[in-house]
A and B are shown apart, each in its own frame.
Chain A
């Protein structure tokens, strides 16, 4: 089995008996062994567990038991997901002292229930407070398209593992853009579902009121298959809505006829490098979109998300900052300590603004079904790069990679990040839909994929 096979192809071949889950798993483990030294995507490889799971799938098939939609598909998770038997690192040094997790995160259990095979845990920016994919403890994850460049973060290992052909599907988290930024810089598809759609049970949090989980993959069908397998209420996450699963894989080929689509203007047209603007233009042209729409006060929404992130993050880590400040990544520590010092009334004002912004943004969906915006202002920066020039002004790189993602997650909207395969480096476009309409974003993404406007281009090796 080719390491670059899609999840849908793998599952079909395992189900038909054309290949065995054990063989697919060995291919993935060999591929990880071959490439992880360069990409630094994995922080733990669960070879024994994966072999046992694959053997169980092959045995089930031999007994005539029907297999799930992801039978034999290797996947991996950002290391803030609980994996039974491993300490949940969340990219930190401090968490290495934690007891091994007693049970898998809900989303791992659901993917495995569909037949997928967990092969390991992935590198990430410390405590997810990151847009670069760099990590002072584990070293940076490296972009498969140019290993001297960033993957984007904080789900950096997730982006590298999928783009580098180590796994077909990987899970990340997105508080302010941490699925969409690495999807963009690594040139793969990513789905940040509606806030509250997928369970976060048994994952290490960052900003509870903004945290989302979701999949990255190399095709829209793989994204949909993974998402469908993970949907459904989970009483163990109090934010996870009690809403029936709404499978999207059967809807992908419905096309985009009748969908009203616009390009985000204002904030989303400022500061973009030519590549980001070109990517949006290419997608808009392919979809015949000429209309523009403005998300009201988007820059202020980004400011409010920044304030809530700094303060909620500080509250989460306050005790660790008191006792183990020296063990943090210094860049994370200094932001969290500053966050702890922000007066509470300013945080409440940001929360009041959030409600106002939500109601204004929701009004837009009476006029349009989807909104297009850049995912990142630029293609992958070089590892270690500290600044970038936006509109002629040199700005710190780290926060500004989330310039266009933060105002969207702030109001919980579902987004599909699609990779536009520009040369020499890919870049993503966000397809933003109304709450609970992941299907709309994925249908548009699928049409762009079949029209060869977007694709997860295979990187050189």
Chain B
């Protein structure tokens, strides 16, 4: 979805952990990074599907 580099993601994880007040043990970071990569990849799959500006989101969903 973007051309962020691997190091960028490491920096992003460290910075966002600080901003969010989340602990970040060195032993956890590789798994967190792997999970974030998967989620961002899937978010990219969704985002590349073009929808009009007027498309309504469904945060409170009703079937």
Contacts and interface: CB of A to CB of B under 8 A. Distances in A.
Contact of A339 (B39, B58, B60): B39
Contacts of B39: 306-307, 310, 338-339, 342
A334 interface: yes
A291 interface: no
B46 A330 contact: no
Contacts of B33: 338
Given A307-B39, A342-B39, A349 B22 contact: no
A334 B49 CA distance: 28
Contact of B20 (A239, A299, A341, A347): A341
B35 A352 contact: no
A355 B55 contact: yes
A390 to B, nearest CB: 15
Interface residues of B, number: 36
B25 to A, nearest CB: 8
The secondary structure that dominates the A interface is helix
Interface stretch (A34-42, A120-128, A317-325): A317-325
Interface in A193-239: 194-196, 209-210, 239
Interface residues of A, number: 49
Contacts of B36: 338, 341-342
22 contacts: A195-B61, A195-B62, A209-B58, A209-B59, A239-B60, A304-B42, A304-B46, A307-B43, A321-B22, A322-B20, A325-B22, A330-B28, A330-B31, A331-B31, A333-B28, A338-B36, A339-B35, A339-B39, A340-B22, A349-B46, A349-B51, A412-B63
Interface of A: 194-196, 209-210, 239, 241, 297, 299-300, 303-304, 306-307, 310, 318, 321-322, 325-326, 330-331, 333-335, 337-342, 346-356, 358, 399, 411-413, 435-436
